Structure 1
Amino acid sequence: MYFFLLNLSLLDLGSISTILSKSMANSLWNTRDISYAGCAVQVLLLIFFISAEYFLLTIMSYDRYVAICKPLHYGTLLGSRACVHMAAAAWGSGFIFALQHTANTFSQPFCHGNALDQFFCELPQILKISCSAAYLREFQFLIFCAFVIFGCFVFIVGSYVQIFRAVLRIPSEQGRHKASMCLPRLAVVSLFISTGTFACLKPPSISSPSLDLVVTVLYSVLPPAVNPLIYSMRNQKLKGAVCKLLTGCFS
């Protein structure tokens, strides 16, 4: 669990830094400009971190399923080598997805200006100013990604359903506590998937700058911000370590 939490923390840090660092720099310098190469790098890194995180969350749901529902088989199914391989697969799959998206998006010229109605280089906003051929090719790849994302989401929900069934059979307060810890995780994953899918596939007729901004914050900024609270601060050992650290700093 701690190994996967370390990977999740790195991915959260990378995704939120990719978005907010350039936005903060632009605010300080009172500008909204970004170079073509800088925009491509931002898209590559953002898709890499977000997709790798989603694959990692899928793996973590399976990890919790085995730990709670099949604890006697945990060492056999999820040993140290298997955990490393699964985490590497999440990072590698995220990079492949990001490379494909970035290559499809920036391999064609843009026909509708160079201004984006967003505070960073968001893929749906870039597609709006791209030529029709490039938009169609990237949209087809987005449909394929939507099927992959939906499959992972079904797997995550199925894993947590099995976890709920297992912990609710425990006739104690501990069982209800474990079930309550799973609900916020599933809620954040659902928020991330629903808002991210809506941002990529929403029809242009209902698009507006204010709606686009709210949806973008919900899928790109909010999940990385609340993940440390959900996955770490509800853990008693981590809470104790943080309390000791704060006590040492202020004593």
Structure 2
Amino acid sequence: MGGNHTQTEFVLVGITDSPCAQAPLFGLFLLTYIVTVVGNIGIMVLVRVVPSLHTPMYFFLTHFSFTDICYSTVISPKMLADLLLESKTISFAGCAMQFHGFAFFATAECHLLAVMAYDQHVAICNPLLYVTVISNRVCRQLVASSYLIAFLSAIIYTGCIFGGSFCGPRQIDHFFCNVSPLLKLTCSDTRNNEMIIFAFVTTNVVGTSVIILLSYICILRTVLRMHSARSRSRAFDTCTSHLMAVSLFYGTIFFMYLQSTSSHSSLDKVASIFYTMVTPMLNPFIYTLRNKEVKGALVKCRRRVFNHCQHKRAVPARK
């Protein structure tokens, strides 16, 4: 490792340098972040308190919501602070930690989406074997392996980027420590590092997307063979929420990372905002508005809270 990295500070250029736009953007992104945290925590609490949602699919969904909260939290607070402060510096250690956290949770989300697709594949294509194949032990192993692969991948990404020397201007042309703008600041030849990062990102993103694609091909073949229109409709309804989440997440990921660093442009910031803030905010709505079981659980919880409030009001009245 070259240079004394412990004393290095970077400057994040941010989303915009226009003072007039910073305050409205702060309000918009703060609201987005609050909705993200509240919505995803709401799903996690709902799955925990409603017994009918104690199934493998919703077990995976709670971890998906957890990763949404975490990788949005890795980015959003610093970005929000930079919109208000004149000094937009971030230390070398802080930048490395931010990048590692983002890479870890984003990669974990890729694998969790693949696990959820496999779960739906077994549920629709092999319903009689579902309890045996997707047991509680298997669920824990699938989630643990997703986090383990993500952690190891994030270490490799971080090592490739922060293992060399940084020289010249310290300005990161982004609102967080992302791959492309960081590689532009390194002194050494980055071709080998870029190839390693590209290979691992391709393995994680393309590998998980292939699992998802194959799962849905099998699901589609099974659904088309169903004689009952009601059964086909139920199967499609079950898959719709997951497909929407996959489309949002993988669409921006493919745009961002499966291209050479030389072709990156200012559109990267827009895409980054979409998958670090907008997508985590939309996921809770996707899984509640398009899912009858979750909507039913929400109605039950609302009735339970309403009945509890009515009971508390009635007790003093009787006294």
Distance 2:138 2:283 in 1: 24
Q: Which amino acid aligns with 1:55?
A: H
Does 1 or 2 have the higher relative contact order (CA < 8 Å, sep 6+)? Answer: 2
Match among 119, 134, 142 for residue 197 of structure 2 = 142
Q: By how many angstroms is 1:19 displaced?
A: 1.2
Q: 1:217–1:202: structure 2 CA closer, same or farther, 3 Å change rule? A: same
Structure 1 equivalent of residue 265 of structure 2: 208
Unaligned runs of 5+ in 1: none
Percent of pairs with identical residues = 35
Structure 1 equivalent of residue 101 of structure 2: 45
Query: Is residue 168–residue 175 contact of structure 1 (8 Å, CA) maintained in 2?
Result: yes
Distance 1:164 1:201 in 2: 27
Match among 133, 141, 149 for residue 85 of structure 1 = 141
Distance 1:111 1:246 in 2: 57
Match among 17, 26, 47 for residue 73 of structure 2 = 17
Structure 2 equivalent of residue 124 of structure 1: 180
Of 124-133 and 102-111, more deviation after overlay is shown by: 124-133
Distance 1:158 1:5 in 2: 20
TM-score by length of 1: 0.88
Q: 1:63–1:46: structure 2 CA closer, same or farther, 3 Å change rule? A: same
Aligned residues: 249
Distance 2:244 2:289 in 1: 16
Of 166-175 and 29-38, more deviation after overlay is shown by: 166-175
Distance 2:105 2:177 in 1: 15
Structure 2 equivalent of residue 108 of structure 1: 164
Match among 185, 189, 200 for residue 246 of structure 2 = 189
Distance 1:240 1:28 in 2: 42
Match among 218, 223, 242 for residue 274 of structure 2 = 218
Q: 1:71–1:112: structure 2 CA closer, same or farther, 3 Å change rule? A: farther
RMSD across aligned positions (CA): 2.3
Q: By how many angstroms is 1:183 displaced?
A: 4.0
Unaligned runs of 5+ in 2: 1-56, 311-319
Match among 109, 115, 126 for residue 70 of structure 1 = 126
Match among 255, 264, 267 for residue 198 of structure 1 = 255
Of 70-79 and 190-199, more deviation after overlay is shown by: 190-199
**Where in structure 1 do 4 or more consecutive aligned residues deviate above 4 Å?**
203-206, 244-247
Q: 1:198–1:129: structure 2 CA closer, same or farther, 3 Å change rule? A: farther
Larger Rg: 2
Query: Is residue 112–residue 143 contact of structure 2 (8 Å, CA) maintained in 1?
Result: yes
